[in-house]
Structure 1
């Protein structure tokens, strides 16, 4: 069956309960309780090994009882709430290597998926809405005896014109443009609406997609089914927030309020890292006796991987009880979690189990294995994986190039990176250019990184965005080239690129590494005030850590407050940095434990040591004698 488990200590002996799952722990039919991978301390003096898979099978266990037990333990993309535990490397917000997996809706390559009805491992996407049954064929086609090719060409031309109308329409004033489109006798049915939605999602124009969805319903252009409501719900959550999305769920006809609706809401809770709300939605799905799927469980696994790894065990138990077989995405999450915890043996066993289940490792899985081998100092194993990733002919297997470039750089193998780049150099793709810039930056070859950047700008004049500029900006930041970084930032603005969170993050690091922390703070504050997109968690932490080192409690508290205002709540990482400010200042931190408890955050070993240092009422051996 599946594999990944073994318990060093029975969960039921701990007697914990978790908000997401409301039942006692369950006992393995193999005589073990499932636990889940990294060594974490749940009770004083007791360790639980999470995701320990020495005795595969992966998840052999959620056996009796309707719910699964969980415990009060700790843990975004960077084990941010588990600071102080061993990690395979410094992880940053939104950067754990499975970024496209971590986004519950597949915003890229949607058009390719549309005909296949793919869900992917994401939220309900508009690609799900296109099915043979739902597509409305143009009734006039057969009457006019158009050939399939002519019909398809005509559809594409009409869709192109329709997209131009939508894009040109002023914000919040799309209705007039659509009214005019219909008045001119143009078609506007399910094909046009769904195809346009796919394109808008691909470009992340969720606001316009929402307007189009609202228009189609209010003008009764579509007979809404559950997937249409789910698509609308997803857009509302993205554009207007979870609260508005929840209200919309109540307006959906009860007959259409099924599993797809709630898993869409669940996935958006995960995107926004709202653990409490995600657990509530998951429980509601179970209370409603909706069909539970691996998709919904994967969403919780993704959330707990970011915020509280110890709860992963509960999801695995639940999956086995419900006979939900792990998907490739499940294994990717678990392998990544093992790697982040420096459990190379466990990672390898998961990998073997995945292959035994008939799942073929893709580029992401192999590159993850190589990454964690490198972090663990197992360079020979890493090289073996990379050679396997290359295959017999790298030109044929070109898709691996973007992964190989930075990994060879991590190994310090400039010759191998050069060999890979030569395959791409004559006709590089954007992703390959970004990977090459990253690789040359890691190898300290700044001029080569700049050369690739200029080639990219020249080859992709219209396709280059702020993300591509940011790749070189990060190189400058890592090498403390402040002047070059400033010039590149000005060039980015002059080119008309939209400056977003990734660029802010690179600029913050650039100034912090140059010793200009206050300037970095100012940049981040202005970015947050723009109100369009919130800065990354890592941007705040880069500045906060610097204030903490200085013992600047005032500014550290200020950043802590801004983190909360941006929605980053309940992570032990920010508490640890703030505590360090008090430790460095040798100042007492009154009521700090209560502050943590209010956010449902509990100290790990490192934080407990910090709390002892800043305890205003702590007595030393000398003070005891004097008393």
Structure 2
């Protein structure tokens, strides 16, 4: 109740109109008025709060069985849902299969749909297609088709998405607004704007229900064509037509503000942001504030951004995860100066650090903007306070040093990163980075340093035996004019240069078109 009271106080600080407030009040959405299914606290702690890194979630569940504990279907479904929200897709998939093996339930269409989504994210679209074909016909409902369609949207496969939509039409599953919005999103993301407009006309002819995601798609299409008048008309329609006004949620106005800002019409962007604030509700509280903060900062309204930050902080005592979410959101939208202010506020609260979790976000931003002095300053301050750099830390420093052609520091960063990389971990330095480093070592005649690095890369399975041998031979052949990138060619397909991160972020201006 204390948190609810603080949130109500915070909402009073946001702009309101009496007409809008009646629709967008501060009461929680109806779905939250029903008692949720809770995961037992001790089990929640073991899985989500302080999981043993050596134990899989399935192992933890098996231990519960050995302790003669009963786990209901609803509790397990809740665990899967929370694992998905935490982006732990592989663990969620393991729990899904484990439930089947234990004979927990007669599978429902929703269970197949959830597993289909998880397989696509963990194993790829081809595995998902195979699984979809294995679903019994009587359980392969519109929900499953919608999920497969959305999987094609994620990988931006227009041909397959259109084919599955044709099947859905034939089966009578194509009238769902969700499915239509998925196709609109795909056309927008692949810049098929003409197809998107034709598709919208078809939706109108077939009287398909428009919702806030549909209007978001329409605004994005206008913005992509720099059609300011089109955005103006859509917003006017949302405000003037009672049948559509309830779809004018905060996200629709945030997307409009984003386009106005990109097109340099800052007064309209400002007005749209104010209207977005009016329409905020509890459901998107944590998502909306960082988005709006950054957009205010982008159009030169830093005081508005800091006002929202002060409101955001009213949600009780902010945890590290709250600061991390805001900083990450702001950085993803390009607000590095605003992120710096929030980061420094967070940093000042601590005399000791155990890791670089939040610092990594700023180091990455500075490194990618070529400001290695600022990145190094954060690194050094954190080291002095006891923080231990992670693989991610060294990986981002490596990228920054390569960009600045500071190869001596790049070599050291690469060695530190590889030393922390566990065998089988899904990280590889970019082939261009490796090539630049080996060219540097060979140019300086540092055979010993090169050999040590080659052995280190091999020990972590980051290069193959074949490439190991080629690199050794290439280093010894002082007459060779072959470039290191050609020597590394055999393993280039394996190298991403990235540590995997969540594939989508609700702070993105297009979020309301991506999360339905």
Q: TM (normalized to structure 1)?
A: 0.51
Higher helix share: 2
CA 1:441–1:243: 2 relative to 1, 3 Å: closer
Q: How does 1:104-253 map to 2 (within 5 A)?
A: 156-157=40-41, 159-160=43-44, 163=47, 167-168=51-52, 170=54, 177-253=60-136
Find 1:337's aligned residue among 221, 235, 243. Answer: 221
Pair 1:532 & 2:415 matched? no
Any conservation in 1 of the 2:331–2:365 contact (CA below 8 Å)? no
**One of 186, 201, 218 as aligned partner of 1:317:** 201
Distance 2:408 2:160 in 1: 36
The correspondence for 1:406, drawn from 284, 287, 294, is 294
**1:200 offset after TM fit, Å?**
1.2
Which residue of 1 is the match for residue 446 of structure 2? none
| Alpha-carbon displacement from aligned partner over 1:222-260 (angstroms, at most 9, x marks no partner) | 111111111111111111111111111222221101111
Q: Which residue of 2 aligns with 1:499?
A: 392
How far the C-alpha of 1:516 sits from its partner, in A, is 6.7
Q: Could you tell me how far apart the structure 1 residues matched to 2:188 and 2:68 are?
A: 52
Any idea what the Cα deviations from partners look like across 1:6-43, whole Å, max 9, x if unmatched? xxxxxxxxxxxxxxxxxxxxxxxxxxxxxxxxxxxxxx
Q: 2:140 aligns with which of 220, 234, 257?
A: 257
Which residue pairs with 1:481 in the alignment? 371
Rate the CA distance shift 1:512–1:114 in 2: closer, same or farther, 3 A.
farther
Q: CA deviation at 1:159?
A: 4.6
2:18 corresponds to: none
Give the Cα–Cα distance (whole angstroms) in 2 for the partners of residues 535 and 273 of structure 1.
26
> What is the CA-CA distance between 1:301 and the residue it aligns to?
1.1
Tell me the matched-pair count. 396
Gapped regions of structure 1 (runs ≥ 5):
1-111, 118-130, 136-151, 544-553, 567-627
1:241 and 1:369 mapped to 2: Cα distance? 34
8 Å Cα contact 2:397-2:410 kept in structure 1: no
User: Residues 347 and 307 of structure 1: is their aligned pair in 2 closer, same or farther, counting only changes over 3 Å?
Assistant: same
Q: Does 1:294 align with 2:185?
A: no
Contact 2:355 2:390 in 1 (8 A): no
What displacement does 1:175 show?
Answer: 5.4
Contact 1:438/1:449, CA 8 A, preserved across alignment: no
1:277-426 paired onto structure 2 within 5 Å: 277-310=160-193, 311-355=195-239, 356=241, 357-389=244-276, 401-424=289-312
Q: 1:465 to 1:201 in 2, by over 3 A?
A: farther
The CA deviation at 1:290 is 3.1
- RCO comparison, higher one (Cα < 8 Å, 6+): 1
Residues in 2 aligned to 1:441 and 1:470: alpha-carbon distance in whole angstroms: 12
**Measured at CA, do residues 170 and 514 of structure 1 come closer, stay the same or move farther in structure 2, by a change above 3 Å?**
closer
Q: TM-score, normalised by structure 2?
A: 0.61
Q: Judging changes above 3 Å, is the alpha-carbon distance between structure 1 residues 383 and 309 closer, same or farther for their aligned structure 2 residues?
A: same
- Give yes or no for the alignment of 1:269 onto 2:157: no
Separation in 1 of the partners of 2:366 and 2:86? 27
Partner of 2:347: 454
Equivalent-residue separation in structure 1 for 2:403 and 2:379 (angstroms)? 16
Displacement of 1:369 after TM fit? 2.5
Give CA-to-partner distance per residue, 1:288-315, whole Å, 9 cap, x none.
3435311111111111111132321232
Change (3 A) 1:158 1:292: farther
Secondary structure at the counterpart of residue 392 of structure 2:
coil
2:40 partner SS: helix
**Please, what is the CA RMSD of the aligned residues?**
5.1
Q: Compared with structure 1, are the counterparts of its residues 317 and 115 closer, same or farther at alpha carbon in structure 2 (3 Å cutoff)? A: same
Secondary structure at the aligned position of 1:499 is classed as: helix
Give secondary structure in 1 for the equivalent of 2:245: coil
Cα distance, 1:488–1:352 mapped onto 2, change above 3 Å: same
